[in-house]
């Protein structure tokens, strides 16, 4: 049996930080650039030193290059240094000129400025980021926008993201301002129609090449099944915590296991092109999706994908895991062990696990394809995507704790006789939900954890029947119990491990879908929100029926938001029309919910049938 404490003692947070310090000297590792490739080459070199079989798997990418940029106040000549947002369209040779217009999310009247002629629009970075996405989608056509400036929440630093690629590429240049400069520009333009000129160089170059670094360690008894341990090496500015810290954690895990025999194979992967887009203007996660496409024919043999982000710095003491439901017992067990380690007890670090998987990191391309997956990360840190994300903020103690959890999770997935996947645990989550980390995260980071059928049943809604899904889950629980009994016989493990994995992949493909930029509908995790909307609609319909022919109360108008803009006057409100539209919306949502419940029941039934057929 593997000596876990001995292996964990091989982790060095100081060595991990030193590796981050070395790699972070290669700044602006944009996908497809020479800097990104030199980083990949250095990582590959370090893997080879460990005796691993290493490959650089190349794929096409779009390269973005840029130079210095500035915002010049017309008339006064006052200048402010700016940072172009990644993948900003080119700036006109004579600059982008227009009236300064300050816009706020939720104030539709301010958008009227865009009809008055060219505007250099300025908005504040909202920490939940959703306001920027929604505002951009409102004027993504670029009508009368000369340029868009986004004021960083950091007073003395720029904050960047691939904002120009949200939804679809915008036609105007986009840039970041420091918080201090944003305040000065607001003061300068207050009370007058100030004009400005934005200057800079931004170029999008097609035909570039990015690469994933894949280091392989072959298993001894189930070599065809492999465990992926991953991070990404491209990044903005120094990108020390995001995400060279995770690459350093992957390297520490590889170093600890390089000379250890494991039942299953392990692939240590550093993805390229996570932060930026490629042809088709996907916002991010291009490298992991390229790996998935390249290895799709063999993806059914991936036992788990353990992805890492933000491994070395945080504002919080919580080390978190987002995972598919089949991995919940695995991580809970790992937490029991790792929480007793000296680094956790001495520093007071705490652990939490959340379901479903986060949609904004590399594991999502795998979990949406059914592969059990988890994202390990320290929660938010202020310097995210800014020029303050340097090696100076990396803490050796956090690196130590993170890499120990990363290693233990990998070791148990790769070497336990029975794959540590739980279908009975999966079924339990479906019934009762999961909310382990509700109090650990601020509301803007996680607005809802995974609800269960019992919780959903408690919301009064007509015509939403979960009985078919309950029946399918009852049958699945019985089959899962039989499989666990069979797996308890060590002589049958290698025969039935693939069956366990296949059933989990069926469930994940059907249930672990997510929303966001990729256009997927967040149905199961979103059920609570959908049912809450139905409940509100029912309440609004009842109220509208009661007030037909009367003035519309203010509290009812608030209940109906966002169906009506804030400036709509009560006297212009047609109760009958609103009642008809609201009823139609409710009926469509009911039907959608019903169809989705049937789809989920079919997915659970397919996993159940797979288990029953496999155990005949």
Q: 487-492: list long-range contacts, CB under 8 Å, 24+ apart.
A: 487/418, 490/417
Cβ pair 397, 347 in contact under 8 A: yes
- The CA-to-CA distance between both ends of the chain, in Å, stands at 32
Cβ pair 253, 268 in contact under 8 A: yes
Cβ pair 416, 266 in contact under 8 A: no
As a whole number of angstroms, the distance between CA 145 and CA 134 comes to 16
Q: Which CATH architecture has domain 4-63+206-421?
A: 3-Layer(aba) Sandwich (3.40)
Residue 587: what pLDDT?
75
Q: Give pLDDT < 70 ranges for the chain.
A: 1, 104-115, 126-143, 166-167, 190-192, 279-283, 435-451, 455-456, 458-464, 513-535, 543-579
In a 10 Å sphere around its CB, with 0-12 CB exposed, 13-18 middle and 19+ buried, how is residue 572 labelled? exposed
Domain locations in the chain?
Answer: 4-63+206-421, 75-193, 444-616
For the domain bounded by 75-193, which CATH number is listed? 3.50.30.30
User: Coil, helix or strand for 172?
Assistant: coil
As a whole number of angstroms, the distance between CA 360 and CA 520 comes to 13
90: Cβ–Cβ under 8 A, 6 or more apart, which residues?
Answer: 173, 201, 202, 203, 204
Residue 528: what pLDDT?
54
Cα-based torsion angle of the residue sequence 604, 605, 608, 614 in order, rounded to the nearest 10 degrees? -130
As a whole number of angstroms, the distance between CA 91 and CA 146 comes to 9
pTM, whole model, 2 decimals? 0.88
As a whole number of angstroms, the distance between CA 378 and CA 312 comes to 8
Phi-psi region of 214 (alpha: psi -120 to 50; beta: other; left: phi over 0): beta
Residue 39: what pLDDT?
98
Residue 82, beta-bridge partner list: 69
Report the sign of the C-alpha dihedral through residues 387, 392, 397, 403, in that order.
positive
- Picking from 600, 587, 562, the residue whose alpha carbon sits closest to that of residue 461 is 587
Residue 503: what pLDDT?
97
As a whole number of angstroms, the distance between CA 216 and CA 291 comes to 14
Helix (H) or strand (E) holding 594: helix 575-614
């Amino acid at each position: 049996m593997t000596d876990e404490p001995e292996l964990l003692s091989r982790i060095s947070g100081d060595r991990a930080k030193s590796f981050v310090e070395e790699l972070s000297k290669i700044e602006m590792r944009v996908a497809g650039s020479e800097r990104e490739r030199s980083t990949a080459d250095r990582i590959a070199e370090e893997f080879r030193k460990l005796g691993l079989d290493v490959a650089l798997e190349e794929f096409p990418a779009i390269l973005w290059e840029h130079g210095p940029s500035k915002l010049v106040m017309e008339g006064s000549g006052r200048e402010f240094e700016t940072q172009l947002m990644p993948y900003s369209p080119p700036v006109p040779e004579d600059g982008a000129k227009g009236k300064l217009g300050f816009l706020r999310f939720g104030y539709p009247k301010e958008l009227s400025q865009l009809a008055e002629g060219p505007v250099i629009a300025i908005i504040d970075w909202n920490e939940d980021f959703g306001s920027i996405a929604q505002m951009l989608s409102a004027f993504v056509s670029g009508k009368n926008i000369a340029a868009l400036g986004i004021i960083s929440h950091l007073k003395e630093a720029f904050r960047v993201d691939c904002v120009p690629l949200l939804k679809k590429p915008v036609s105007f240049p986009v840039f970041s301002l420091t918080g201090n400069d944003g305040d000065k520009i607001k003061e300068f333009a207050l009370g007058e129609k100030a004009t400005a000129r934005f200057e800079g160089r931004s170029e999008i170059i097609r035909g570039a090449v990015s690469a994933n670094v894949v280091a392989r360690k072959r298993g001894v008894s189930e070599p065809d099944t492999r465990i992926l341990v991953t991070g990404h090496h491209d990044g903005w500015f120094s990108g020390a915590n995001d995400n060279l810290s995770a690459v350093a954690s992957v390297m520490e895990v590889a170093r600890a296991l390089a000379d250890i025999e494991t039942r299953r194979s392990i692939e240590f992967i550093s993805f390229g092109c996570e932060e930026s887009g490629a042809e088709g203007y996907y916002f991010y996660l291009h490298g992991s999706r390229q790996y998935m496409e390249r290895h799709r024919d063999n993806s059914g043999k991936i036992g788990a994908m353990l992805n890492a982000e933000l491994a070395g710095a945080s504002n919080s003491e919580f080390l978190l895991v987002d995972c598919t439901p089949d991995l919940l017992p695995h991580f809970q067990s790992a937490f029991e062990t790792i929480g007793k380690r000296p680094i956790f007890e001495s520093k007071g670090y705490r652990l939490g696990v959340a379901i479903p998987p986060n949609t904004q990191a590399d594991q999502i391309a795998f979990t949406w394809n059914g592969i059990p997956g988890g994202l390990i990360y320290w929660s938010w840190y202020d310097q995210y995507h800014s020029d303050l994300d340097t090696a100076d903020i990396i803490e050796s103690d956090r690196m130590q704790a993170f890499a120990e959890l990363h290693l233990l999770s990998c070791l148990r997935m790769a070497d336990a006789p029975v794959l540590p996947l739980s279908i009975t645990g999966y079924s339990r989550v479906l019934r009762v939900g999961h909310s382990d980390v509700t109090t650990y995260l601020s509301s803007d980071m996680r607005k809802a954890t995974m609800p269960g059928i019992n919780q959903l049943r408690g919301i009064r809604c007509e015509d939403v029947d979960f009985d078919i899904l309950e029946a399918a889950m009852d049958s699945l629980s019985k089959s899962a119990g039989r499989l666990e009994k069979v797996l308890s016989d060590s002589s049958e493990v290698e025969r039935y491990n693939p069956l366990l994995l296949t059933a989990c992949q069926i469930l994940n493909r059907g249930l672990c879908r997510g929303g966001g930029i990729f256009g997927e509908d967040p149905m199961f995790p979103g059920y609570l929100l959908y049912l809450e909307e139905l409940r509100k609609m029912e309440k609004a319909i009842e109220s509208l029926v009661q007030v037909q022919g009367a003035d519309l109360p203010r509290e009812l108008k608030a209940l109906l938001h966002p169906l009506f803009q804030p400036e709509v006057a009560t006297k212009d409100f047609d109760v009958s029309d609103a009642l008809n539209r609201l009823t139609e919306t409710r009926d469509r949502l009911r039907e959608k919910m019903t169809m989705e419940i049937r789809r989920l029941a079919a997915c659970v039934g397919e996993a159940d049938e797979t288990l029953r057929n496999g155990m005949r």
